[in-house]
Structures are given as structure tokens and as C-alpha cells.
Chains A and B, each alone.
Chain A
Amino acid sequence: MLSRHAEHLFWTGRYVERAADTARMLDVTYHGLLGEPVAEARRGWLDLLDVLHLGRQFADTHQLVDARTVSNFLVVDPTNPGAIVPCVHKARENARSVRELVSTELWESINNFWLELQVRDLARDLDQQPYELYGLVRRRCQEVAGTATETMPHDDGWRFLLLGSMLERAEMTCRLLNVRFAPFTEGEDELGFHQAVHVLKSASASEAFRRAHPAAMTLENVIEFLLMSPTFPRSVLFCLQSAETELLQLDAPGRLSRALRVLGRRRADLEFADVGELLAGDIHAFLDEVQNDVRRAAELVAVQFFRHAEEFAVFHSLETIA
């Protein structure tokens, strides 16, 4: 397929995933911080900005940190490329650029999502009923993902879409663990029930976790689950496995690409890791490494499939060989 098309699909997947993840975390943060004292709430919102890697951008807006300003920044602010509405806009623009590759049903679900956000009174939603809005964003993103799976041929195009969303999700879950568990892994606090549930819910994982670990909601268990569950679709390991599977299909047979090596190595690492050892060592340094690998893999995918910096060199050398 055309490199440009592959890139558009990759980003469509990424942006939709980012919008969904952001909505999920906003939802949990907003409701978790209701009734907390101002200073506590402020810390909660700053943490969220950290998870989303948007702390500095928010600081540049020179606004007070509270539920209203941060929610507004993360949902509608047109200057924030990571905000939900701009993300959906970009997902739509990307899908529109590959309109002929995207099934009509998939296009309609993305387009209708966008139109729906256009007609809603978002300021009022954020002010009075954020729950409903976040639920809507989550459901629409799920609809997009489901429609893609059910109506697109599972060929290269679909694989790039999936690859984008898996790499985005892997990075998000990593950051979630990295930021949210810092106070506990560093021994400041004991992980309480509410904090644990908070993090699990941010990854839609609380019920799945309870079934896997009915008795003990320990720090170790929660981290192990979100980092290394082989079956839960939002765990880092699961995302890396999925990304690797798609990448393997996308690669020319016979040689492992650099992106695949980076991902495979990290995946194996997680598969055989021991959470006790990780916690005994510097787990945050470890999570940083995982995050870096995910980012590097995304860059290598771009070099291999989207840009052809060396295409002519390669092309001519092949010709000479033939």
C-alpha cells in the first residue's frame, strides 16, 4: 500500500486511542477528586497532566490548576494537540485522507463522532455532566475500533491502524503506572484501596483485575496486572504482543526489521520479568525504558514504512545486483 496511506491509518488509530484514553483518565480523575481538599485535588490534576505529558503545555497557558481549567484544556482547548476534540478532528482528517481505503461504515462512525462533538454544548457538559461526555467519547472510540475490525479487510491498512492504536495504548498505560504509583513505590505512602481502584479504572481494568486477584489488591498485583497480563487488552505486554504480531505481518518475510527487534526484545523482557524484582529495583527507570522502546519502535516504523529517505540508493543498488 501507499506509504502515505499507511501513515494516515497509523495516525487515525493513534488519535482515536488517545482520545479514548484521555477521556477515561479524565473521568476517573474528576470523580475521584470530588470532595477532596483543594491542595489534594490540585496534585491529582497535575498528576494527570503528567501522565498525558502535557504538564508544560498547560503551564504555558498560565491558568490555575483546578477541575474546570484542566478539563477544559484536555477536552476542548484548540491549542492543545492532545485534547480530545482536536484529537478526534485529527483522526477524522487522517481518515478522510484515506477515505477510499476506509470502509464507509468506519468513515461514518468517525465522521458522526466528530459531528456529534460539534453540535454538543461542551462547556455545559464539562460544567454539569462530564460523566456523560466522557462515557460518550469512550463509547464512540470503541465503536470506531469495533467498526474497523468488523468492516475492514484485515490487510495491511487495518494492521497499520491497529499498530497505531496499540503503540499509543502501550505508552499510555506505561505512563499511567509511572506517574500514579510514584508515591507508593518510593515508600511515601501505603497503596490504599481507592488509589488502586483509581488507577485500574483509568485503564478500564478494575473488574478484570478483581477476577484475576479476588483477594489481594496489593501494589505488586496491580502493577503486575497492568504491566504483564498476557490476556488483558490494555496491559503493556498485551499491547506489545499485538503490535509485534501486526508488524511481523507487515514486514517483508525473511528478515526482522529494527522496529520488530526493539518490540520483540521488550516483549520478551516483560514476559519473563518478575514483578518483585522490578519493585526491589528502580521500577520507574524500568518503565522509562519501556516507554522509550515504544517510542523508538514508532519512529522506526515511520522510517521503514512511511519515509523513503534512502529509497533510491536501495533501489539502484538492487538493480546493480540484479
Chain B
Amino acid sequence: MTTDLFDGYAPDDFFDEVFTEDASVRPHYEDLVARLRSFTPTELARRERLRDAAFRSAGITFTVYGEDEGVERTFPMDLLPRIIPAAEWSEIEVGLIQRVTALNRFLDDLYVGERAAVRDGIVPAWLLSSSDGFRREAFGVPVPRGARCLVAGIDLVRDAEGTYRVLEDNVRNPSGISYVLENRAAMTRVLPNLFGSLRVRPVDDYGITLLDALRHVAPAAAGDPTVVLLTPGVHNSAYFEHAFLARQMGVELVEGRDLVVDEHVVYMRTTRGLQRVDVIYRRVDDAFLDPVVFRRDSMLGVPGLLAAARAGNVTLANAVGNGVADDKAVYAYVPDLIRYYLGEEPILPNCTTYLRWDDDQRKAVLDRLDQLVVKPVAESGGYGLCIGPAATDAELAKVAEQIEANPRNYIAQEVVSLSRHPTLVDDHLEGRHVDLRPFVLTGEKTTVIPGGLTRVALRRGSLVVNSSQGGGSKDTWVLRDDDAKVDDGDEVT
């Protein structure tokens, strides 16, 4: 063999997904690493071109805001998959179901229940009502089965010891599932022989599972419910995903202007007249959903939609007002909410988080800003982050000022030295930080799609994996339970 892809690869001081501390390959990666070693750089470069062509012609793109023209970009997928062994996954899975179950209970309790968690002092009322994601207008809007987070994306990271921790909860409109499915489709086409004897759990039944969950939350009166997906339109950064999911489910992809509310019933305009709609998987943010109650200038919404939902004539998924549960300050209370609602210890720990309205905590934090990550509580997509060790003195001073001015608006977390995964850089491999966003669906019961979206920070040393911040992704393989090896050539997907 002339060159080895892994030559010069150094795990450094980070937890490496593939190599152990003494530089030997972890057992569940042995097969993959052996196969990769048989590829020449030229051959891999050829596969990369194949991948690019496949993604571009399929139009798998996302939109980057704030750049001029040519705003559609393909989402780069690294050719090396991430592998999660069965035993490890089953623990993650149980932890995710536990967490999402508690979040659903919390939201239902808050909006249509007796607000028991507030009454019993688990989480302060002022914290909830001051959250950007809190919606007074959602009081009394029912969701059948209490499935308020029908789709949840829970971001996980692994720390220096390899422990999975929850970085944040996304229970408004988590996106990224289309990349999970497209990445898998691309991998099976571009590098079929990498699968080898590994038995990878399939992900392509997501559309059916999602539709099934949506049908289960239809208003009781709807016999054979009509489900639609509501998108802000082609110019939205996630439009590709909206179209993709509508196609996978075989439901109409509607925009606000396609829907009309009459006497608290929602209809869509079709070529044969008006047709009643029972469930709306809406990918439009709360603020734009209904100009009657939210932003009046919204052209993306449907006047009267929330009233129709309150009347129980239509179900909105995810429910309105979920943002209060993925507020980064409320996040700090989720372990307590799990204990309160389920009487269980949290299986997946949070990252160590400091809240700023506590005077002692704030003082301690202000002294250590250069060692911490500071996040605005209501942002997502990696916007507004300040990573202490990488920030300049001026940036730190500015952040300190912002915290003093509005302590409610920020949290501080210990820097998690995210695990790294070998990633193809030009013709060799380098370690890059990764996280994992599994998708959790709640319909009749709560289930987790095997794996999820592994995001990778493509810039050397970067800890930010968001697609809007120069991140890429990896196909994520969860191995089957039996872990049994099969002969080459057997079906692998």
C-alpha cells in the first residue's frame, strides 16, 4: 500500500469517535477502517465528485442568509460515516424518550393543565412568562394526546469522557431530517461497499412514521383526517426539506395563501373548490402563523388559524408556544421537570449551565467569561454565541456588559470539548468536532429515528456545527441489536 488515509491522524486531547486513547480502533469501527484503508486518495476524490453531482442535481440545498445572489448552497456531507453501536444507542434512545415525554407533559400542564410545575415551585412563573417562546395566546389550545412536541430534535454532544450530554432541546420546528435521509441515500449509492458486513438500521421509514403520528393527533371528529404541511414558501432556508417531507408523506405542501378559515374550520383551496383540513404540520414560526393574534404584517400565515385550533377543529403540530420549553434558561430546569413529572432520574445529563439572575452565580460567571460559552436564550442556529477561550478581550467586555444589562437573556455553560471524528480534508483525514441531533416523534407513542443528523464543524478547531455557520454533516449509522456480522453482499440498508 502506498499511502494510508490515516497516516498522521492524531486524536490529540479530545474524545475521538474512532480511536481510543492508545490509538487503537474502537471495535465497532474496525470493519469500516479496514475498508477505508483500501481506498486510494484518487478513488476517494472520485467518490466525492460523485456525491457532489448527486446532491447538486437533486437540488439538495439550503439557503444562507446575509449573502448576496447564489444563496442556494449544497449541504456538504463528509464521506466517513459515524457509527453508534446498538447498546450505546439503546441507552440514548431511552434517555431521549424520557426527556421528550417530560417536555410534552410540561407544555400540556402549562398551556391546558393546572400549571402544577409552577405551583409546586419546580420552575419559576416569571421565568416562563418572560421567555421569548412563551405564547399567552396558546392557553386553552388543545392537542390530542398531549403531543405538543410532535417532532423534537434534541442536540447531543459527547464530552471529554465520551458521555452523551444534552446541549439543547429543539421543540419548535427542528429541521435537518431530510439530510439524514438524503445522506443515507447518497452513501448507499456513492460508497456501497463501505457498509460491508455492518448491519445498519434503516431510516427511510421516517415519512410513514411522521404521517402516522400526525394522523394520531387529528381532532376526534375527523374520520379519515386530511394532513397538510404548511411552509413559508420557496424562499425559506428549509424549503427543500418541506417539499421533501410532503413528498415522503404524500400530503399537500401548502402555503398560507392556500388556506382559508371559515367559521373556525380550516379549508384549502383546490381546483375543485374548498377541502377541509384536519392536521397541519406547520413549518412556519409562531410569530407568523396567524396575523389576527401574532404579527399583523405576516403574509405567511392564515388569519383565524389559532381560533380554529382552539375550537378543536384543527390540530397544529408542533403546538403553538413550545418555544418556552427550548428556551436555554428553561433548559436548565429540564432535569428537575423529568424528576417531577416522571419520578425518574434523568438518563441523559445536561451540560453544566449557570443562570445569571442569581447574583452569586452571575458574579462567579463574570469572572470566568474567558473560560465559558455564553448563549442568548432565544437564539438558535449558532447565532450570537460567545466562546470564551476563543474570544478577544473586547468581545468579552461587550458580552459582560450585555449580561449586566439583561441577565435573563443569557446563560453560561462550561465549554464542552466536543468529541471529534476523522473527517476527509483534501486527501487525508483530520479530526473535526461533531454533535448529534436525533429526531423524536410523538404520536400514539414516542419513538426515536435510529441515529439522526451528525453535524460536523468543517473549520479546523471550530466548535460550532450549525449549517448556517459553515458546518457539514455525516451519515449516522446505528447498528442493529444483534450486532451479528453477515457475509459480504447481503442487503445492508
Q: Which residues of A contact B (CB under 8 A)?
A: 1-6, 93, 96-100, 104, 107-108, 111-112, 115, 156, 160, 250, 252, 305-306, 308, 311-312, 314-315
| Most B C-beta atoms less than 10 A away, residue of A97, A99, A308 | A99
Q: List 20 A-B contacts (CB under 8 A).
A: A2-B258, A2-B268, A3-B258, A3-B270, A96-B234, A98-B253, A99-B240, A99-B253, A100-B244, A100-B253, A115-B56, A115-B57, A156-B271, A252-B272, A308-B273, A308-B274, A311-B260, A311-B273, A312-B262, A315-B273
Whether B57 contacts A111 by the Cβ 8 Å rule is yes
In the complex, chain A residues whose CB is within 8 Å of the CB of B240: 99
Q: Cβ of B247 < 8 Å from any Cβ of A?
A: yes
Q: Cβ of B255 < 8 Å from any Cβ of A?
A: yes
Complex CA distance for A252 and B233, rounded to whole angstroms? 29
In the complex, chain B residues whose CB is within 8 Å of the CB of A315: 262, 273-274
Instruction: Return B70 CB to nearest CB of chain A, in Å.
Output: 10
Whether A108 contacts B269 by the Cβ 8 Å rule is no
Whether B57 contacts A108 by the Cβ 8 Å rule is yes
Q: Cβ of B58 < 8 Å from any Cβ of A?
A: yes
Whether B269 contacts A100 by the Cβ 8 Å rule is no
The one of B56, B57, B243, B269 in contact with A4, judged by C-beta atoms closer than 8 angstroms, is B269
Query: Number of contacts between A and B (CB, 8 Å)?
Result: 64
Whether B253 contacts A3 by the Cβ 8 Å rule is no
Instruction: Return A107 CB to nearest CB of chain B, in Å.
Output: 7
Complex CA distance for A4 and B273, rounded to whole angstroms? 12
In the complex, chain B residues whose CB is within 8 Å of the CB of A312: 262
Encoded as 1 (CB less than 8 Å from any A CB) or 0, chain B from 156 to 181 comes to: 00000000000000000000000000
The one of B253, B268, B271 in contact with A6, judged by C-beta atoms closer than 8 angstroms, is B271
Encoded as 1 (CB less than 8 Å from any A CB) or 0, chain B from 84 to 109 comes to: 00000000000000000000000000
Complex CA distance for A78 and B111, rounded to whole angstroms? 52
In the complex, chain B residues whose CB is within 8 Å of the CB of A96: 59, 234
- Which secondary structure dominates chain A's binding surface? helix
In the complex, chain B residues whose CB is within 8 Å of the CB of A4: 255, 257-258, 269
Whether B271 contacts A112 by the Cβ 8 Å rule is no
The one of A93, A104, A156, A308 in contact with B269, judged by C-beta atoms closer than 8 angstroms, is A308
Encoded as 1 (CB less than 8 Å from any A CB) or 0, chain B from 224 to 256 comes to: 000000000110000010011011000011110
What are the nearest 6 A-B pairs in CB distance?
A: A99-B243, A100-B247, A100-B246, A305-B271, A100-B243, A3-B269
Instruction: Return A25 CB to nearest CB of chain B, in Å.
Output: 30
Given A93-B234, A100-B246, A312-B262, verify A2-B270 contact (CB < 8 Å).
Answer: yes
Whether B58 contacts A104 by the Cβ 8 Å rule is yes
Instruction: Return A8 CB to nearest CB of chain B, in Å.
Output: 10
Encoded as 1 (CB less than 8 Å from any A CB) or 0, chain B from 35 to 79 comes to: 000000000000000000000111100000000000000000000
Whether A97 contacts B269 by the Cβ 8 Å rule is no
The one of B59, B247, B272 in contact with A111, judged by C-beta atoms closer than 8 angstroms, is B59
Instruction: Return B312 CB to nearest CB of chain A, in Å.
Output: 21
Complex CA distance for A1 and B258, rounded to whole angstroms? 11
Instruction: Return B487 CB to nearest CB of chain A, in Å.
Output: 33
Instruction: Return A307 CB to nearest CB of chain B, in Å.
Output: 9
In the complex, chain B residues whose CB is within 8 Å of the CB of A111: 57, 59
Given A100-B247, A156-B271, A311-B274, verify A108-B58 contact (CB < 8 Å).
Answer: yes
Q: Interface residue count for B (Cβ, 8 Å)?
A: 26
Instruction: Return B412 CB to nearest CB of chain A, in Å.
Output: 42
| Most A C-beta atoms less than 10 A away, residue of B254, B258, B272 | B272
In the complex, the chain A residue whose C-beta lies closest to that of B248 is: A100
Instruction: Return B211 CB to nearest CB of chain A, in Å.
Output: 13
Complex CA distance for A115 and B272, rounded to whole angstroms? 36
Complex CA distance for A5 and B257, rounded to whole angstroms? 12
Complex CA distance for A312 and B260, rounded to whole angstroms? 10
In the complex, chain B residues whose CB is within 8 Å of the CB of A1: 252, 270-271
Complex CA distance for A308 and B246, rounded to whole angstroms? 24
Complex CA distance for A98 and B268, rounded to whole angstroms? 16
Known: A4-B257, A4-B269. 20 other contacts (CB 8 A): A1-B271, A2-B252, A2-B254, A2-B268, A2-B269, A3-B269, A4-B258, A96-B59, A96-B234, A97-B233, A99-B243, A100-B244, A100-B246, A100-B247, A108-B58, A115-B57, A252-B272, A305-B271, A311-B274, A315-B273
Complex CA distance for A306 and B246, rounded to whole angstroms? 21
In the complex, chain A residues whose CB is within 8 Å of the CB of B254: 2
In the complex, chain B residues whose CB is within 8 Å of the CB of A100: 243-244, 246-247, 253
Instruction: Return A288 CB to nearest CB of chain B, in Å.
Output: 30
| Most A C-beta atoms less than 10 A away, residue of B56, B243, B255 | B243
In the complex, the chain A residue whose C-beta lies closest to that of B56 is: A115
Complex CA distance for A130 and B233, rounded to whole angstroms? 37
Complex CA distance for A306 and B240, rounded to whole angstroms? 24
Instruction: Return A242 CB to nearest CB of chain B, in Å.
Output: 19
Given A2-B252, A100-B253, verify A311-B269 contact (CB < 8 Å).
Answer: yes
In the complex, chain A residues whose CB is within 8 Å of the CB of B252: 1-2, 5
In the complex, chain B residues whose CB is within 8 Å of the CB of A314: 273
Instruction: Return B477 CB to nearest CB of chain A, in Å.
Output: 25
In the complex, chain A residues whose CB is within 8 Å of the CB of B56: 115
In the complex, chain A residues whose CB is within 8 Å of the CB of B268: 2
Whether A97 contacts B234 by the Cβ 8 Å rule is yes
In the complex, the chain A residue whose C-beta lies closest to that of B250 is: A100
The A-contacting residues of B in range 256-292, CB under 8 angstroms, are 257-258, 260, 262, 268-274
In the complex, the chain A residue whose C-beta lies closest to that of B247 is: A100
Whether A112 contacts B258 by the Cβ 8 Å rule is no
In the complex, the chain B residue whose C-beta lies closest to that of A103 is: B247
In the complex, chain A residues whose CB is within 8 Å of the CB of B272: 252
In the complex, chain B residues whose CB is within 8 Å of the CB of A115: 56-57
